[in-house]
Amino acid sequence: MNEHRHHKVKDIFLDGAIDPAFVGTSIAKHATRTDIGAHEIFLGQVRADEADGRRVAAIEYTAYREMALERMTVIREEAFGKWPEMTCLHVHHSLGIIKAGELCFMVFASAPHRSASREAVSWVVDRIKAELPIFGKEMLEQGGHEWKVNHG
């Protein structure tokens, strides 16, 4: 399988929403990899949450980019250490204003077998949500905003 390797810092941030076609293209790029037997993908989408008669129209994402990318590099290294058979791990997170219904977060892992890719994606998503300094300001339909709180 893969020997331990050190990964360079990769920029996970995209300006704007993640286009669904990007997801399909990401999968298609792996078609030549005949050592892959499983892909696991997590897609995060902006919800139109409603509370007290106020509805979320969009989320404006910002981040402490350098700190987030340094932390993501550590998470990536740890993931490949835990699942050395994993062939690749791709992470993308939107910045800017993302409307309700649009994709804002993607974690994509590939491996020879499904258990490694499935476990790795779940673990990476949870680590990112808990550790990366990414902030979401919920823009309300009625005007104003509230800072997003991750619920898991």
What is the percent of the chain where pLDDT is above 70? Answer: 93
For the chain, the domains span 13-147
Phi, psi angle pair for 65, to nearest 5°:
-55, -55
Mean pLDDT, range 111-119, rounded to an integer: 97
Mean pLDDT, range 2-20, rounded to an integer: 82
User: What pLDDT score was predicted for residue 142?
Assistant: 83
13-147 is classed in which CATH architecture?
Alpha-Beta Complex (3.90)
Mean pLDDT, range 49-68, rounded to an integer: 93
Contact 104, 22 (CB under 8 A): no
Q: How far apart are CA 91 and CA 77, in angstroms?
A: 13
pLDDT digits (tens, 9 = 90+) for 129-138: 999 999 999 9
User: What pLDDT score was predicted for residue 1?
Assistant: 43
pLDDT of 141 > 50? The answer is yes
pLDDT of 7 > 70? The answer is no
Q: Say which residues have a Cβ less than 8 Å from residue 34's Cβ, sequence separation at least 6.
A: none
Strand, helix or coil for residue 86? coil
The strand pairing partners of 111, in sequence order, are 38
Confidence of residue 60 (pLDDT cuts 50, 70, 90): very high
pLDDT of 6 > 80? The answer is no
Neighbours of 93 (CB within 10 A): 20
Residues 106-124 as b or e (16 or more Cβ within 10 Å = b): bbbbbbeeeebbbbbbebb
Q: Which helix (H) or strand (E) holds 127?
A: helix 114-131
Q: Say which residues have a Cβ less than 8 Å from residue 29's Cβ, sequence separation at least 6.
A: none
Residue located via tokens 């139109």: 48
Mean pLDDT, range 38-50, rounded to an integer: 96
